[in-house]
Structure 1
Amino acid sequence: MNLAQFPRRRYTTGSTPIQPLNRLSDLLGGPSLYIKRDDMLGLAGGGNKARKLEFLMADAIAQGADMVITCGAVQSNHCRLTLAAAVQEGLQCHLVIEERVPGSYRPDASGNNFLFHLMGVDGMTVVPPDTNMMLAMQEVAERLSRQGRRPYIIPGGGSNAIGATGYIACADELESQLFDEALNIDTVVCASGSGGTHAGLVAGFHGSNSRIPVVGINVRFPKEQQEDTIYRLASEAADRVGVLSVIPRENVVCFDEYVGPGYSLPTSEMVEAVNLVARLEGILLDPVYTGKAMAGLIGLIRQGYFTKSQRVLFLHTGGWPALFAYTDLFYADWARNQ
């Protein structure tokens, strides 16, 4: 794979670090846990979408766009980072926000919503649950085009073949780090949402023949639906970068037992995971993605899915600014446990 052939903007200098999670590993009695800190990527507050946006923003600029349109949920990390990238590039940004949980949108909310306004978002359209988000973005694009703008649409989560290229590049970065550090990882675990991160890793590891398995912890959709999405996107991304062999369907593994009542809705396992990682490792997870993904990793360890002798790497996809929209939840949990 020659990834240098693809236009790319750079929002991060160097590689994100890999750290051992020694205290969490000891508490759980194994396996040996490690974390790749993609929460330390560039742009405002860090997170996995920065890798996708390096390729997506380069494509937008190459097409002569003067603004980007993207979408996400009420506390969307993707929207925050897309807006930050647009600000750096001198482009305008319009956000289409889906109120996936009825009544959850507040224009004066904290967390990412506050950051949208702090960074000077150029427009926001709030739509109800189950809206066709691509159609909603196209309607905004048509309206703005009539005003003389040149909009570029970025799909939710930046998850198309262009965006997933960012995590094919991450797979390459990770393999190089593991070699340099003489660290042999048995499995990578990540949150599986819009799919670009999970799919890019699957495509990247397959393309390099590293055979590192990737386990996705679903944050929204049922297992079969999510696995189909990841497989399709991984195949499209692999084809884009020139991977010649077909990705085996069994390379895509998802668990949906940790979604709870729905996307962004809290679970006791998520609260436990966020608290444990903060208090044992000093690392902040978010309630929507990494908190549920870590809850899934902990749950799989307790079920014996991973052996005590294995080495498992958790990909931290960022999102901690959303914590500030969930403070009441954590204060209530601490009060109950005093």
Structure 2
Amino acid sequence: MQGLFSFAQGSRKITLPRVRLALTPTPLEPLETTSDRLGFFLSAKRDDLTGLALGGNKIRQLEYYFGAAREQGATTMLVTGAIQSNYTRAVAAACARLGMRCHVQLENRVPGMSSDAYRDSGNVLLTRLYGAEVTYFAGADDEVAADKAIHAVANRLRNAGEVPYHISLKADSAPLGSVGYLHAAQELLEQQPDTTHVVLASGSGQTQAGLLTGLRMLGSGARVFGVSVRRAPGAQRARVLSYCHTLSAMLGVEPVVQESDVQVFEGNLNTGYGLPEDGLMDFLLGAMRREGLLLDPVYTGKAFAAIPRLKEQGYFSPQARVVFLHTGGLPALFAYGPEFLSRLNRIDA
């Protein structure tokens, strides 16, 4: 159950409880067609292929949350997220594999999405198939209130004799999920030591914080560009930096990430979190048909769409070696089926 991360300094090691869930290392795949179109080398780090529950970045993150939960004797895992949350689906799957109970609280963070497909298919369907108990948070998009509601559920379970473990993704929570991306940084540098940039979707911020911290700990100056899919870039930048500093403190090392290292860009151009803007949907269809690369309109699609924008703004030279971190989220494609079909019916008519 124990996981070990060896630091670049050689003698410094730390052991954290870990439950192996992900199939790693994930491949690094050249995107030749898009590279030719953009004029620099682009590849995809395929963390959509981490295995469990159709993969994604959450599988790496959960190894350390479940490690801590098992060490504490937990019998039930609790997590809250949006209706089409990848995190809740991954937690439900890990619980099924490990013989634990799971309680998922879903929040309606995207009021504009009300189709049956959005509410019942994709991640919601998989979460239920894995046997999770699902409840709905009635309030608005409010992290503090949602956290309070899930704590009430934890108290109810505790009174019933369960040992609950709550995975909190609030900004002030311990970023155990970031530890999984220290390993991903190590993998990436072994696969492509001359990586100059990494582009990824930045949601909770833990993936960006872990990858950036890992790269700096291993001596890489590669720039990590987070594309914020939920918050304003300034707020997301502060969140990621806080996670980086907390992660260093958890590991017992001096902070290696400077404020200037944390770079975050707007991902919700002309739209909001979880909303399928027409231009984005057209872009995703083009990317799928050129590269055979499946992208969702909430996370990976917005991050991938930022790459040509960043190129136009001068961030990538012809000598750049850019990696797109594909963080998964593929079940959400089915939740947005009606929106994709509407585009296809017009385009293919």
Residues 324, 254 of structure 1: alpha-carbon distance in 2 compared, 3 angstrom cutoff: same
The counterpart of 1:101, out of the listed 107, 110, 115, is: 110
Match of 1:74 among 48, 66, 83: 83
**Alpha-carbon deviations, 1:20-39, whole Å to 9, x = none?**
000112223x1211000000
Spell out the pairing of 1:125-204 with structure 2 (5 A cutoff).
Answer: 125-131=136-142, 132-156=145-169, 160-179=174-193, 184-204=194-214
**SS of residue in 2 equivalent to 1:36:** strand
Secondary structure in 1 aligned to 2:181?
A: helix
Q: Report the more deviating stretch, 304-313 or 209-218.
A: 304-313
Query: Out of 26, 51, 57, which is 2:60 matched to?
Result: 51
Paired residues of 1:35 and 1:314 also in contact (CA < 8 A)? yes
Residues 1:216 and 2:226 are matched in the alignment: yes
Q: CA deviation at 1:267?
A: 2.1
Is contact 2:74-2:165 (8 Å) kept? yes
2:286 matches 1:272 = no
Distance 1:99 1:14 in 2: 33
Task: Compute the displacement of 1:103 (Å).
Answer: 6.5
> What is residue 329 of structure 2 aligned with on the other side?
319
Is this contact kept in 2: 1:220–1:259, CA < 8 A?
Answer: no
Task: Determine the structure 1 residue equivalent to 2:261.
Answer: 251
- How far residue 42 of structure 1 moved from its aligned partner, in angstroms, is 2.2
Deviation at 1:217, TM superposition (A): 0.5
Structure-2 change in CA distance of 1:114 and 1:13 (3 Å): closer
Are 2:73 and 1:64 aligned?
yes
Residue type of the partner of 1:67? T
1:337 aligns with 2:347: yes
- Helix, strand or coil: the match of 1:331? helix
Give the secondary-structure state (helix, strand or coil) at the position aligned to 2:322: strand
Distance 1:74 1:198 in 2: 23
Which residue, out of 79, 85, 94, partners 1:85? Answer: 94
Alpha-carbon deviation of 1:120? 1.3
Flag the 1:245–1:220 CA change in 2: closer, same or farther, 3 A: closer
Instruction: Please say if 1:232 is aligned against 2:242.
Output: yes
Q: Which runs of 5 or more residues in structure 1 are unaligned?
A: none
* Maintained 8 Å contact 1:187/1:214: yes
**Partner of 2:46 in structure 1?**
37
1:11 aligns with 2:17: no
Which stretch shifts more, 129-138 or 268-277? 268-277
TM-score, length of structure 1 as denominator length? 0.92
Aligned-residue offset at 1:157: 8.9
Aligned-partner SS, 2:120: coil
Letter in 1 for 2:76: M
Q: Is the 8 A contact 2:48 2:55 kept in 1?
A: yes
Conservation of the 8 A alpha-carbon contact between 2:23 and 2:49: no
CA positional deviation for 1:248: 0.9
Unaligned runs of 5+ in 2: 1-6
Runs of 4+ in 1 over 6 A off after TM superposition: none
When structure 1 is superposed on structure 2, of 251-260 and 93-102 the one drifting more is 251-260
Structure 1 pair 285–148 and aligned structure 2 pair: CA distance change class (3 A): same
Q: Distance in 1 between matches of 2:268 and 2:35?
A: 20
Q: Equivalent of 1:118, from 129, 151, 173?
A: 129
**C-alpha spacing 1:207/1:122, structure 2 compared with 1 (3 Å):** same
The one-letter code matched in structure 1 to 2:129 is: L
C-alpha distance in 2, partners of 1:269/1:210?
35
Instruction: Please say if residues 31 and 301 of structure 1, whose CA atoms lie closer than 8 Å, have aligned partners that are also in contact.
Output: no
Count residues in correspondence.
Answer: 333
Of all paired residues, the percent bearing the same amino acid is 40
Which letter maps to 1:66?
A: T
**How large is the RMSD of aligned CA atoms in angstroms?**
2.0
Question: Is it true that 1:328 corresponds to 2:338 in the alignment?
Answer: yes
Q: For residues 9 and 70 of structure 1, do their structure 2 counterparts lie closer, same or farther at Cα, with a shift above 3 Å needed?
A: same
Kept in 2, the 8 Å contact 1:160–1:196? The answer is no
